[in-house]
Amino acid sequence: MEFGWFLLATVLKVSFILGVTVLLYAPVFVLFERRQSAMVQDRIGPMMGGVKMPRLVIDHLQTLQMGAFGMAALCGLLFLFATAQVWQGNGTEVLFTEPVLGVRHTWNGMMFVFGALAAVHVPLGVVLPYLFHHDRLTIFGGLHALFDAIKAFTKEDVVPPEADKFLFSLAPIIAMVPALMLGAVIPFGPTLYVDYLFEQLPAEGTIGGAAIPLQVASLNIGILYMFAVGGAGIIGAALAGYSSNNKFALIGGLRAASQMVSYEVCLGLTIVPLFMLYDSLLLDEMVQWQVDHVWGVVVQPIAFVLFLTASIAEYKRVPFDAPEGESEIVAGFFLEYSSGKWLMYMLAEFFEVATSSMLIAVLFFGGWDVPFLGRGGWEAFGYAFDLSGTHWAILSEVANSHVFIVAVQIGAFVLKALLLGMLSIQIRWTLPRFRYDQIMQLCWRMILPLALVNILVTGIFILLTGI
Amino acid sequence: MAYLIKKPARTLSEQVYAVEAAKGLGITFRRLFTNVFGKAEDKKIATIQYPDESRDYPERFRGVHRLTHRVDGSPRCVACLCCSTACPAQCIHIEPAEYGEGDPRHGYERFPRLFVIDELRCIFCGFCVEACPCDAIRMDTGTHVPASWSREHFIFDKETLMSIPGRDGTYVTDNPRHEPGDPTHPGIDRDHHH
């Protein structure tokens, strides 16, 4: 592939993974955090922020909703009519003698367009009333979170006079940037064969032409990169505690450093069994193994629980938030931070939730794998989804086309990470905080021996069965 | 003296924290789904969005004062000064005046030329309502004194007090009133002479 195209593809991949982390996961997790905590505790939660809507819109929400449902019903009827036409074999019949809007309309096209329109309007109608609260547009309270962020950002940025100004300003950057860099090795989709976008690929064998692996960089050190870069985040927390010239902050920084270093060990050891099973350190090959065999969580459930625990401890959220220690050391290592710098720590936390969810999805939940969906199309228990000989050829043509399959798989990956993030937020609102010594004991006396035993058992298993 | 505190006995599943944590997650997830997707009667949301919604004050809540009306719209108050006398905070100021010559009420009763309550001084004890012999002052408005920017705004004059309706939205009370000249009026002496 030419260098120019390679560069373009890389830029697109980087912007996708950054965009998903910054623009999708971070705001959605902030919103989840607020809504989930509120609903679990029988509160409504913050809903005040919003854009005031004209009375006319607010008064006619019901009408708008009925309109959406009516539209859905209308499109549904047209969809059924088009489907009936396809049923009778008129699928490829051209509807108008002249092309309308430059497109030749056929019953096949009508079926897809109206089906999609009907499918879009139903959730739109369901969601519509929840977007508004009283006289304003709140988007499930999401605008309140946005306004909170704007407020935090525009506040006065206080730097303690006795603090080390340079390190104090550097620390939040060191904390946030590694969280974003982690995305570089995560495979968010299968290999994209640019020359065959709209065709059905063969299920087996090599495919020629330009191929773009949907992963920013397939480093040969693979997951070790994650630990190396993730380990850099420790410096951010430790520096913050050190440079603030505040004793609480120092204690918080020390706690953060020792906790993160300890759990780094656990984090590495808990997934050693996966390396042994997948026989690779490359994340894309790990996903490929899971596509070929089963998801990692099925073969290594204990490793999953241990890794989830260790990764929550690694990004310092409840129940492992001793470095922040709200009730003991005020806010811990970022106690002296305000305004944008504080926001960077806050965002770094959510970026880390996002990247670790993506990593868990890749390691244990098959990454972009969708059950019964292979490179060559949909297939279950030996039955392929293939209607090419019938009136419904267009359906299997679309469903089995390469670009559609890749889109579904990328969507599945994004959704898996989203659900895992939701789980970790729910854990944050369920479990009480561990004492500091309990955190250390859990690491060195529970997780570490269990991880070692898991390695041993997996090793014996592999030796005996010879996988 | 040192003494030993017995550790509570734990079952195996409690000792293996992950099991209990999973149970806890089950509880919180269930609560989350009931409160988000559940039927309205199953939802357990306890809070309201305050400025948009508000709860009714209790029936006997002593809110901002109001002066009740007669049927013709004039104040029921006869300026007897009972309320201002009873007021422990001394926040009521009344200037009585005589009804004009030829008015049927002339010679029977007076009316307040000025009726002023300093709502910032008031302690909302309700003694004025207790003291009033003719049901002219009430605190059954069901709302508190609204917030404002200036102290002057809290000096409520007669017109302001008469403009506040009761909780049911009316200005006239159910207590019957016998106007002078009306045959049910008890008159000014014991022989009911009008």
Q: Give residues with Cβ within 8 angstroms of A85, minimum separation 6.
A: A91, A93, A107, A110, A111
Percent of residues, chain B, with pLDDT higher than 90: 38
CATH at residue B122: 3.30.70.3270
Q: Is residue B99 part of a domain?
A: yes
Q: For residue B94, is it within any domain?
A: yes
Structural contact between residues A184 and A216, judged by C-beta atoms closer than 8 angstroms: yes
In a domain, B173, yes or no: no
- Tens of pLDDT along A237-292? 888 888 888 888 888 888 888 888 888 888 888 988 888 888 888 888 888 888 88
- pLDDT score recorded for residue A91: 65
Q: Do A43 and B45 touch (CB under 8 A)?
A: yes
Can you tell me the mean pLDDT for B115-136?
92
Cβ-defined contact of B28 to A426 (cutoff 8 Å) = yes
Identity of the residue in B18, B28, B44 whose CB atom sits nearest the CB atom of A305: B18
Residue among A42, A309, A427 minimizing CB distance to B35: A42
Residue B99 and residue B49 in one domain:
no
B4 lies in some domain:
no
Q: In terms of domains, do B50 and B78 share one?
A: no
pLDDT band at residue B114 using 50, 70 and 90 as cut-offs? very high
Quote the domain boundaries for residue B127. Answer: 66-162
Scored b (16 or more CB within 10 A) or e, B95-108 reads ebeebeeeeebeeb
- pLDDT score for B189: 56
Does the residue B179 lie in any domain?
Answer: no
Q: Are residues B38 and B101 in the same domain?
A: no
| pLDDT for position A119 | 84
- Its pTM stands at 0.79
Give yes or no for residue B180 having a pLDDT over 80: no
Residue A391: pLDDT over 80: no
- Of the three residues B29, B55, B81, the one that is the final residue of a domain is B55
Residues paired with A213 in a beta bridge: A191
Q: Does A39 touch chain B (CB under 8 A)?
A: yes
Report yes or no: A422 at the B interface, CB cutoff 8 Å: no
The tokens describing B142, both together, are 């069901």
Note whether residue B73 is domain-resident. yes
**Is the same domain home to B106 and B75?**
yes
Contact between chains at A42 and B32 (C-beta distance less than 8 A): no
In terms of domains, do B109 and B141 share one? Answer: yes
Q: What is the mean pLDDT of residues A127-136?
A: 82
CA dihedral B40, A124, A34, B57 (to 10 degrees): -40
Q: Does B35 touch chain A (CB under 8 A)?
A: yes
- Check whether A465 has a pLDDT greater than 70: yes
> Is A20 a residue whose pLDDT tops 90?
no
Are residues B145 and B102 part of one domain?
Answer: yes
CA-wise closest residue to B49 among A340, A309, A387, A48: A48
Highest mean pLDDT (candidates A133-147, B47-61, B146-160): B146-160
Domain co-membership, B77 together with B155: yes
Write down the pLDDT at residue A190. 85
What mean pLDDT do residues A312-330 have? 82
Q: What is the ipTM of this complex?
A: 0.78
Mean per-residue pLDDT for B114-140?
A: 92
* Any domain includes B7: no
What mean pLDDT is predicted for residues A316-342?
83
Same domain, B72 and B96: yes
User: What's the structural domain count of chain B?
Assistant: 2
Per residue in A154-180, pLDDT (tens digit) is 888 888 888 888 888 888 888 888 888
Angle CA A271–A276–A282, to nearest 5: 75
Q: Is residue B105 part of a domain?
A: yes
* B194: pLDDT strictly greater than 60: no
Indicate which of B27, B28, B50 best probes the interface with A, i.e. most A CBs within 10 Å of its own CB. Answer: B28
Rounded to whole angstroms, the Cα distance separating A262 from A269 reads: 11
Lowest average pLDDT, out of A35-39, A101-105, A447-451, goes to: A101-105
Please give, rounded to a whole number of angstroms, the shortest distance from the CA of B23 to a CA of chain A. Answer: 10
* Residue A184 predicted with pLDDT over 80: yes
Same domain, B23 and B93: no
Q: How far is the C-alpha of A342 from the C-alpha of A331, rounded, in Å? A: 11
Mean pLDDT across chain B:
86
Query: Could you tell me if B127 and B150 lie in one domain?
Result: yes
For position B131, what pLDDT does the model report?
A: 93
Residues of B in contact with A430 (CB under 8 A): 21, 24-25, 27-28
CA atoms within 13 A on the CB side of A26: 22
CB contact under 8 A, B45 and A426: no
Same domain, B89 and B133: yes
> Within this chain, do residues B111 and B138 fall inside the same structural domain, yes or no?
yes
Q: What percent of chain A has pLDDT over 70?
A: 95
Question: Which of these, A420, A404, A194, A439, lies nearest to A314 by C-alpha position?
Answer: A439
Mean pLDDT of all residues in chain A?
A: 84
Mean pLDDT of the B119-134 span: 92
Q: In this predicted structure, what is the pLDDT of residue A98? A: 67
